[in-house]
Copies of this chain bind each other. A is one copy, B any other.
């Protein structure tokens, strides 16, 4: 019996997080970009995870993923401890400080894709070292759509490789401050224009609770964030957004602008659920009908 081939391959970090917000502290919870992204994508399409954990990784966390029907063939388990991250959020939750980072098994991670992952038409390279992102791109075979994410660290220490990866992707996503850091531009319009020149068809700028903007050479698409009554933990919101986007896009089978706009709505709404609780706690309780209901409510809010 062969397993079903994945439609979407996601590569990224897996961490055990300790997170403090103004009202709560949670220790040793499931985190990491690929965990959030695969969870979000799993509502829409068959998704394969590429990442690494140590031999200390709890079975309970692994069960969380299998319960969401995420394909784990690309998950490596390596002798040693899992990557750990700890951070504290400031009063308004807009900013956070990293308290500690222990790379552990993540330090020597080299992503290797199972056979069917290489054929996946949709690929999302979460925030990992650009050299590793390039290594993944050497393994995939003619994907229809490649999204890459990054972070300020790589812009600061390996802009050369990052620029190479950007040149090979269909869509680049980054947040406002990363766009300013990379380009030195003061407006997002100007920053996006510069980034588009590096090769991607799309530049998606994330603005947290203020929504997101999708730039192409010809136009801009503006998307709000769903306004929440309360939220607990913004960790992984960008990964959840991107994962949901790629999941919905893979489910559509399309790559055109209209399909991308719709996929962004699904990604954004999935992320709005994710931040309501820590880790994957809210997403584990969610189903597609819940997402669809909020998408409908959201569209009403945006009617011009």
A contacts, CB < 8 Å to B: 92, 186-190, 207, 210-211, 213, 219-224, 227-231, 261-262, 265, 299-304
Contact = CB atoms under 8 A, between A and B. Distances in A.
B265 A304 contact: yes
Contacts of A230: 187, 190
Given A210-B207, A213-B227, A301 B221 contact: yes
A172 B161 CA distance: 51
Contact of A227 (B220, B301, B302): B220
Contact of A229 (B189, B227, B229): B189
Contact of A222 (B187, B224, B229, B261): B224
A301 B218 CA distance: 11
A138 to B, nearest CB: 36
30 contacts: A92-B186, A187-B227, A187-B228, A187-B229, A187-B230, A187-B231, A188-B227, A189-B227, A189-B229, A190-B229, A190-B230, A210-B210, A210-B211, A211-B224, A213-B227, A219-B300, A219-B301, A220-B227, A220-B301, A221-B303, A222-B224, A222-B227, A222-B302, A223-B304, A224-B224, A261-B303, A261-B304, A262-B304, A302-B302, A302-B304
In the complex, the count of this chain's copies comes to 2
A187 B272 CA distance: 14
Contacts of A222: 224, 227, 301-302
Contacts of A207: 210
Nearest to A193: B229
Top 9 A-B pairs, shortest CB-CB distance? A210-B210, A222-B224, A189-B229, A222-B301, A220-B301, A222-B302, A189-B227, A299-B304, A220-B227
A213 B92 CA distance: 19
Most central of A189, A223, A227, A230 by chain B CB within 10 Å? A227
A189 B225 CA distance: 13
> For A187, A228, A262, A300, which residue has the most chain B Cβ atoms within 10 angstroms?
A187
Contacts of A304: 223, 261-262, 265, 299, 302
A302 to B, nearest CB: 5
Contacts of A210: 207, 210-211
A261 B207 CA distance: 23
A72 to B, nearest CB: 34
Nearest to A261: B304
